[in-house]
Amino acid sequence: MKSLEKIKNQTILTLLLALVFLGCERDISDDAVLASFASTAEIFTDSPVGMGSDFYFPYRGSKATAWSVDDSEGYESSSSMRFDVPNATDPEGTYAGAIFRVEGAGRDLTNYDALTFWIKASQGVVIGELGFGEDFINNEYITTLSNVSVGTNWQKVIIPIPDASKLIQERGLFRYSAGTQATNGLGYTFWIDELKFEKLGTIAQPRPSILNGNDVSVNTFIGVNIDITDLNQTFNLGNGRDVTIAAAPKYFTFSSSNPSVASVNDLGVVEILSAGTAVVSATLGGEDVKGSLNINSIGSFSLPPTPTRNASDVISIFSDYYTNTTVDFYNGYWQPYQTTESADFSVNGDNFLNYTNFNFVGIQFSNPTIDITSLPNLHFNMYIPNGVPSNFDFLVTVVDFGPDGVNGGTDDTRHQLFVRKTPSIVADSWMTIEFSLNGLTNKSNVGILIFENINFSSLTNFYLDNIYFYK
């Protein structure tokens, strides 16, 4: 009996020790979950604060040496960050721009409501972008204040945080981009000091928006992905002045009223899944967001005829079936008279040009121009949704830049091609349109295609695909 009692006592002791160890393991696990990151507010105050030794990462095309520490200028101090914006012709970089990414795990910014700093410039300038949240890794919480007017005296800039609860481990503490568009290509200098995050307590009246606060309606098809764009957050700074900042999609919580028709992910990408209607909306920090995307999914999208010509017999401007030549733009947004906007889309990986609010539009491919002497024909596929207007009259112009290869020179030639309203011009179906360009005098420096409404045609919306020259 004594031996049995001893065994019984040892068993109870073992069980008790096991429970103690399990309890200790759970406590350690809880501690790991609750681990926090440094909440240092300062980024630069006379010198970089806690940034490590490798924290400055210039943007591609910018001047890598634009940033330095200036020990002769400072806001109520002797030092500041100096940014030398280069001339637009500088071979080392045509603008100044970079991110400041802290080395290590990142910082906990949840207790702050704004990034603040003092700034001045060598002359009155407008800085293109100032902000934070870009780390060249995931770039989840990019926040940008655009077109900041800066004078020659020190002034304080406040960039509110759209939702500080998201910034638990942020590495991208500052970003900037500054060019010379407003200074006729001439460089200048600006200084920043006392760069830090603050809890001001005066940031109020949040008014978030998507799609610039508009309720946008679209007709679309199964397989199309649509990006929710123009995401902003507006605050009152407590001094009677509002400030609007561009906020990354990850700050928002998106939702669809009918997920079986249209789903939306946390990056604000809407995927059309079936025919029907749905409304995509959002919240930010518990606040309803102004603006919505009203979706009317028509159903399956019919693709244009698959091109069959040999690639060696084609110079492609826009097609997924051929390698496209270098294109400067598919919409030049020529001012002041152009109204045409672009709403390009893809269906299951096939890309399409979509011109809306159409009056005229240009596609330019001038770097380099193309020689179509041996390929004097033009092909494109066109789709007009919802109906062909009764006064449809469509003009296509092909422009050759002449021997000087410059658009607008005295040696330019052009050839105009008319698409009149005939029984073959139909809605909701892909049309194949082809022209001979034998009437174009010069064909060795072709650089622009122009599509245009003429004779008061009221065509407003159409799709294009497979734009190419051929033998």
DSSP structure string for 145-190: EEEEEE-SS-EEEEEE-S-GGG-SSB-EEEEEEE-SGGGTT--EEE
What is the mean predicted confidence (pLDDT) over 119-132? 99
Task: Name the token pair of 13.
Answer: 């002791």
- Residues 281 and 289 sit within 8 Å (Cβ to Cβ): yes
pLDDT of residue 175: 99
Name residue 280's beta-bridge partners: 256, 293
Q: Which of 50-59, 118-127, 342-351, 456-465 has the lowest mean pLDDT?
A: 342-351
Residue pLDDT, tens place only, 47-100? 999 999 999 999 999 999 999 999 999 999 999 999 999 999 999 999 999 999
Residue pLDDT, tens place only, 3-17? 434 434 444 444 343
Residue pLDDT, tens place only, 191-208? 999 999 999 999 999 999
Strands 292-297 and 215-220: parallel
Distance CA 167, CA 133 (A): 9
C-alpha distances out from residue 11 to 15, 19, 22, 108, Å: 6, 13, 17, 47
Residue pLDDT, tens place only, 208-256? 999 999 999 998 999 999 999 999 999 999 888 999 999 999 999 999 9
Q: Which of 117, 129, 120 is nearest to 176 (CA)?
A: 129
Residue pLDDT, tens place only, 395-445? 999 999 999 888 987 899 999 999 999 999 999 999 999 999 999 999 999
- Residues 57 and 98 sit within 8 Å (Cβ to Cβ): yes
Q: State the pTM of this model.
A: 0.81
What is the mean predicted confidence (pLDDT) over 370-392? 97
Q: How confident is the model at residue 371 (pLDDT cuts 50, 70, 90)?
A: very high
Residue 32 pLDDT more than 80? no
Hey, how many other C-beta atoms are within 10 angstroms of the C-beta on 159? Answer: 21
pLDDT of residue 93: 98
Q: How confident is the model at residue 1 (pLDDT cuts 50, 70, 90)?
A: very low
pLDDT of residue 25: 44
pLDDT of residue 182: 94
pLDDT of residue 31: 46
Domains annotated on the chain, with CATH: 42-198 (2.60.120.430), 210-297 (2.60.40.1080), 311-470 (2.60.120.430)
Mean pLDDT for the chain overall: 93
pLDDT of residue 35: 56
Residue pLDDT, tens place only, 149-176? 999 999 999 999 999 999 999 999 999 9
Contacts of 459 (CB under 8 A, 6+ apart): 358, 384, 388, 389, 392, 394, 453
Residue 294 pLDDT more than 80? yes
pLDDT of residue 409: 77
Q: Which of 12, 128, 124, 131 is nearest to 62 (CA)?
A: 128
